[in-house]
A and B are shown apart, each in its own frame.
Chain A
Amino acid sequence: MIFVFALFLLTLLVITALAIVHTENLFVAVMLTSIFSLLMAANFFILDAADVALTEAAVGAGVTTVIFLSALALTGEREKPRVGGRNIALVTVGILALLIIYATFDKPRLGDPNAPVHQHVAPWYLEKTPEYMGFPNVVTAVLSSFRGYDTLGEVFVVFAACIGVLFILGVRPPRESLEPRDESSGLRHHLIPQVVGRLLVPFIVLFGLYVQFHGEYGPGGGFQAGAIIATGVILYALLEGEAEALRAVPRSVLLGMVIGGAMLFGSVGVVCMLMGGAFLDYSVLAADPVWGQQLGILIIEAGVGMAVCGALLSIFHAFAARESLS
């Protein structure tokens, strides 16, 4: 049954991908990418990767779509007609697809317990996580402690992206955009979305916080939570107008969140070093190493959440400010 469902989802995925390539209307393309991400999330869920599924749903289907849309508001809706070049691209992609299919011939069967992936480091993670961390979600343990340095790197990727958007689109908001805009901005004049949306916003933010602090037990963690909270605030911005959202969470606070989040993560690492451990070795943070690990993970997850949420919102506002300029 699961197999049939997965097959169905994958077929839909291929159809959506083809449709994205084929359509010339950018708005349609953006909507289709959102659907694509949602299908992808469902797929991940079938593969029992709940954490990845949650991320894909929150980031891919949620926030990315909104950012694409606000970028779209700056450009035209239609794609420019292209001349030539398509055939070469088609041939290249075809060859690559064949290569990857060729690579899968010797692939271990899906879920095969003897696959190398399940034989080498994974059992160690499964065995040691409860012992060192004292909580059941192995994914969180791997992400934030065993491979915490990678996660630190990813936070700085987000940070770099945020800096990039701010740098290219310009930091200074135009003065007049801070004034409350006229009635037609946002979805203000639509009654139903406004009422429903107002009801939803607190729940979205609350769910974000739950995902944030429950990461050790259920799927989730700072990354997903940051994206979910950002979605909540963006929804608020769409309902009440951007200026209103900026008044609730000002730009400087957002930038502070990004910098603070990244610094928080980094400084945990340095504190660990100062307390005699290796960089990001949380065990030394408290007298009991298990406690230390939990404390460290809690703090760095908070840092990740802050940085992601702040970065996404800054990017959104940068686009929105640009929009009101033009």
Chain B
Amino acid sequence: MLSAPLVVLLQPRGLAWAGATVAALASFAIALALTIAVLDGQPQVYAMGGWPAPYGIALGVDAFSALVLLVVTGAGAASLLAARPSIDQQIEQERQPLFYSAWLLGLAGLVGIVVSADAFNIFVFMEISSLASYILIAGGPDRRALPAVFKYLIMGTIGATFYLIGVGLIYMMTGTLNLADMEARIGDVVDMNPILVAAGFITIGLALKAAVFPLHVWLPNAYTQAPHMVTVFLAACATKVALYVLIRFDYLVFQAKLADHEVQFALFAMPLAILGILVASAVAMFEGNLKRLLATSSVAQIGYILLGASFVSQAGLSASVMHIFNHALAKGGLFLAVACLAYHYRDLRLDQLGGAAARMPWTCAALVVCGFSLIGIPGTAGFISKWLLISAALESGPWGWGLVAVILVSSLMAVVYIWRIVEAVYFRAAVEGDSQPAEAPLQLLLVTWLVALLNIFFGLFPGVPLELANSTATLLAGFAS
């Protein structure tokens, strides 16, 4: 049952696209099975090597990890399914096996992080996933991908090292690496310096990995320069997994025991989240390159997720977790549509995309649907999480109205930048004379539309993710109070 990471790990050859896709689909199926089991009630636990928990390494899946697991494996499977035509265009034939192999490793790493219940084990899998994603981004067709990757590598390594320092300090004071055990034992040593410093190091390290606002500088370049399909995969899940670890660590280990930690966390996270939302949305409004525009908007969306978490309330958490799911759908769909566009337009600057809607009507329609979901128009998935976020903000106290205003203003900004894309593809005259209809390959288009329809489906029937999000919130908030 719990062999999700193993299935993927055992495919290191990744000989070709087919092998990789089958492995990704298998892990998606396992994730689905796990989710159903979790929905039935009990969290799943698996002891590696048959050793009991604090001595060996345990894996655990509860509602929160099930949801993130769905996002990660779903994004992996969908992007790999669609990847073939786009990757064929961007990467030479003989380098492809290595590329797909790195992709699988990245997927396995992310899955490994999500299912792990052991602080050091999370670090190990973080290393796998980050190394693999450096490789994937370096596969970009442009030489400019390399400096972007180098920046990401340095930032990512600093983030991971900070996390490791924090875990080391906690181990020094508690003698355990298992998260649940850590939570139990940290109570005896709460007010000692090492624990406080460790909390700081872990939070900052993971925030760096998750591209929380002032630490986001690596993200736009890396996403812009990566091969298009890699951007789909990473944008849909990479930063969210870091956020997942951050929220989990913070709520389960620190907030449960450290006095006033929830106040400190809110004071730390909320201003950053608000600044991130506003600044990144503003920057996105004036960005000229389509991919970079969407990447910048990702920073703002991470702000929303963090904002929800910073309320330290059940409603806030449930909104935050919901947004992890919905943003993956919306942004994944948008980047898929971008990959379709890129099939015919090498240059993705907005002023080069005139007349694209006439040439690729289906692609552009999918782009619009996912764009609506990103803005949060009623009837799309994005609306659900924005609505939850606003109601959580209203509950959060006297400042609630201000926060609602922030969310509304930034949604208006989203309207502006999505409208700029729509205007470019629909209403601007074609730059070149060539206006023959030329759709993207069917394989790519089908997956794009599948994701776009899912955006609408989960906008109308948000039952399953909402249930998972709610039980996550109960779980985490139960620890916090």
Contact = CB atoms under 8 A, between A and B. Distances in A.
Interface in B1-34: 3, 6, 9-10, 12-13
Contact of A149 (B57, B95, B197): B57
A305 interface: no
Interface of A: 99-100, 102-108, 115-122, 124-125, 128, 145-150, 152-154, 156-157, 159-161, 163-164, 166-168, 170-172, 259, 262-263, 266-267, 269-270, 273, 277-283
A316 to B, nearest CB: 17
A278 B49 contact: yes
A168 B146 CA distance: 9
Interface stretch (B79-87, B133-141, B262-270): B133-141
Contacts, number: 153
B442 interface: no
28 contacts: A102-B193, A103-B193, A103-B197, A104-B194, A108-B172, A115-B175, A117-B172, A118-B175, A121-B176, A125-B55, A147-B57, A147-B120, A148-B48, A148-B49, A150-B57, A156-B12, A156-B108, A156-B128, A160-B128, A163-B98, A164-B135, A167-B99, A167-B139, A263-B10, A277-B50, A278-B48, A278-B49, A279-B48
Nearest to A156: B128
B6 A120 contact: no
The 7 closest A-B pairs by CB, nearest first: A120-B175, A281-B50, A153-B124, A103-B197, A116-B175, A106-B192, A278-B50
Contacts of A170: 95
Nearest to A122: B175
A116 B172 contact: yes
B105 A266 contact: no
B169 interface: yes
Contact of B131 (A115, A161, A273): A161
Given A150-B120, A160-B102, A277-B50, A168 B135 contact: yes
B131 A164 contact: yes
A116 to B, nearest CB: 4
Contacts of A115: 172, 175
Given A146-B55, A157-B128, A279-B6, A105 B193 contact: yes
A164 B185 contact: no
Interface string B150-182: 000000000000000100010111111000000
B128 A149 contact: no
Contacts of A121: 54-55, 175-176
A119 B99 CA distance: 46
A280 B132 CA distance: 24
B50 A172 contact: no
Task: Give the contact-size bracket for chain B.
Answer: 35 or more
B197 A100 contact: yes
Contact of A157 (B13, B51, B131): B131
Contacts of A281: 49-50
Nearest to B198: A103
B10 A267 contact: yes
Given A120-B175, A166-B98, A259 B50 contact: no
Q: Which of A105, A147, A153 has the most CB of B within 10 A?
A: A153
Given A119-B175, A163-B101, A279 B49 contact: yes
A259 B200 contact: no
Contact of A116 (B132, B189, B196): B189
Contacts of A120: 54, 174-176, 185
B54 A270 contact: no
B10 A266 contact: yes
A144 B105 CA distance: 21
B192 A164 contact: no
A278 B47 contact: yes
B121 interface: yes
Contact of A163 (B46, B102, B165, B192): B102
A122 to B, nearest CB: 7
A117 B175 contact: yes
Contacts of B196: 103
B432 interface: no
A159 B57 contact: no
A167 B138 contact: yes
Contact of B95 (A100, A118, A171): A171
Nearest to A283: B50
B10 A147 contact: no
Contacts of B9: 152, 156, 266
B12 A159 contact: yes
A102 B197 CA distance: 8
A122 B54 CA distance: 10
B434 interface: no
A157 to B, nearest CB: 5
Contacts of B371: none
Interface string B64-103: 0000000000000000000000000000001100110110
A259 B55 contact: no
A171 B98 contact: yes
Nearest to A172: B94
A105 B173 CA distance: 12
Contacts of B54: 120-121
B216 to A, nearest CB: 17
B56 A153 contact: no
A146 B49 contact: yes
A153 B189 contact: no
Q: Which of A118, A152, A283 has the most CB of B within 10 A?
A: A152
Q: Which of B56, B101, B121, B189 has the most CB of A within 10 A?
A: B56
Nearest to A266: B10
Given A118-B175, A156-B108, A164-B132, 11 more contacts: A103-B169, A103-B196, A105-B193, A128-B55, A146-B51, A160-B135, A163-B102, A167-B98, A167-B139, A259-B12, A270-B6
Interface string B236-258: 00000000000000000000000
A143 to B, nearest CB: 12
